[in-house]
Structure 1
Amino acid sequence: MIKGIHHKAFHVVDMDKTLEFYCDKLGFERSFDLDTDEGEPWIVYVKIAENSFIEFFYDGSKEDKNQLDHICFEVDDINEAAGRVKDKGIPFSQEVSKGKDNNYQFWIRDPDGNWLEFMEMQPDSPQMRS
């Protein structure tokens, strides 16, 4: 189960493909859309959890798909989350592993090449001690 993050913005090339990935495969929910002042599609909000969203902009391709530009979803159980992703046939960019911060994580990429990290926080991690 996802525990939180308010939102992260991505620019997408193919909104239909992006929504199929996040909604149909990952199981998130399309929440609402915003249009420009001229009435053109601008942003689609996808709800991840209570008060937690991703904003998808209709702005086309993005040159730099650097892993540093990512969103991290906190999960209760990393193995259960990884199993759900694998069951949907989504390839892993990095399998479940323990990071330098002592948390368990795995990484995938969406259809536009954006990096997604899933992390289970550990009681002895620096994030939990601060």
Structure 2
Amino acid sequence: MKFLHTMIRVGDLDRSLHFFCDILGLKEIRRMENEKGRYTLVYLAAPADADHARETDAPLIELTYNWDEHEYGGGRNFGHLAFAVDDIYEVCSRLQAAGVTINRPPRDGHMAFVRTPDNISIELLQNGKSLSPAEPWASAPNIGVW
């Protein structure tokens, strides 16, 4: 398993970038804008991690700016921790066998979400190419929220 990123939602992207980059000193590694989904993702790294983050996409902080939402209540501004795993189906099976609810099953062979005992979301991403869809995951429903 490899740590990838921590995601937080921000209400004002420019203000947040000023804080994280200009004041705190983090470096912007990459940016993705999605007009259909109406959001922007900005990935940041600490200066000492910047070169490594550009090569490996980790470790990073992901700022998620949803264009139509500017205030978050109830802790919704903190999104999730993300880890790359070598076999998402094996990891989800192991977690489920240990009593962990798979909130967002890896139907696509690429992404799943679980929650910690304190309800913090954990995103699991298949390392490399997505696995072919397979049961029982391909038809598994979402459970709760992630």
- TM-score norm. by structure 1 comes to 0.42
Q: Which has the larger radius of gyration?
A: 2
- TM-score norm. by structure 2 comes to 0.38
- Which is strand-richer, 1 or 2? 1
